Structure formats: C-alpha cells, structure tokens
Amino acid sequence: MIYHSHSVEETEAIAAELARTLRGGEVIALNGELGAGKTHFVRGLVRGLGGMPRAVSSPTFVLLNVYHTRSFTVFHLDAYRVAGGDDFEAIGFTELLEQNGIVIVEWASRVQDLLPAQRIEITLTQTGATDRTIDISVTDPTGPA
C-alpha cells in the first residue's frame, strides 16, 4: 500500500492505523532518509497500540528504546550508527525477536542480514516540506509465489 501524508499528524495517523492490525511478533523494517519522518511514524504506532507517544524518541545514540503499551512491548532500534550486525547482536537483537512484542528497526537496510524474511517493510520518502510518500509492504516467503 502506498499512502500520501501532508503533515506529521497524517504520518502518525497512518502509523496508528497500521498498529491496529498488529498481532504481536512483527518486525517492522523502517527506511527513509534523515528527516523523512521515521520517528514520527513510530510515535504514531505507539499511540495506536495504546502507549505514550510523547515517550518516543530517536534511539540513534542508545540503539534501543523500549515502550510499554496496552497491547505490546515495542522495541525501537536504530541502525544508523551501527558498525555492523555485531552491534545489534550485542544488545540482544535475536532475543528481542522472541519476545512477541513489536520490533521496529530504523535504517533497517544497514542490518538487512539480521532481519527475519517475514517482516513489514516501510519506506518513507520526503516529497515536499511536509509531504511524504509512505510505502508499506509485507515480505512473506511462505506466501504465494
């Protein structure tokens, strides 16, 4: 699905809508350039799951933020500054995948080899000062060819 957002509020609303479809155990690979709205998207997801959106901040320097919501625990990671997959392994990335929470990885393409084959891929593309295109797809290697 491709969505068009014209504001931060619309980006967060699109994410909140996606949050209502999550069942636990999903991995969300979040990509987009600096300023594309990745953290705003996560804020909308957390709100949609019944959490505190004001608690959401970019985990660029800490690698991992954890948010507790009414629905699930959200593990929010950022691969922008990682030197490689070993940095993610050092913080227990594999164990996070087994928690039945929601694992969100910003700059996911930098740790592509660590991500499960089945995941939700989201790419945010800035198309104007406040406009974004949000492309959401599901990769499912067990689905129809």
Q: Does residue 145 lie within any of the structural domains?
A: no
Q: Does residue 103 lie within any of the structural domains?
A: yes
pLDDT along the chain (145 residues), means of 10: 96 96 96 91 96 84 87 91 76 88 93 92 95 94 60
Q: Does residue 144 lie within any of the structural domains?
A: no
DSSP 49: T
Question: How would you classify the pairing of strands 27-31 and 119-126?
Answer: parallel
Q: Does residue 121 lie within any of the structural domains?
A: yes
Angle at CA 142, nearest 5°, toward 15 and 3?
Answer: 25
Q: Does residue 107 lie within any of the structural domains?
A: yes
Q: Does residue 77 lie within any of the structural domains?
A: yes
Ramachandran sector of residue 68 (left: φ over 0; alpha: ψ -120 to 50; beta: rest): beta
CB-CB neighbours of 117 under 10 Å: 9
CATH number at 32 reads: 3.40.50.300
Residues spanned by the domain of 107:
2-139
| Total count of domains within the chain | 1
Q: Does residue 55 lie within any of the structural domains?
A: yes
Q: Does residue 53 lie within any of the structural domains?
A: yes
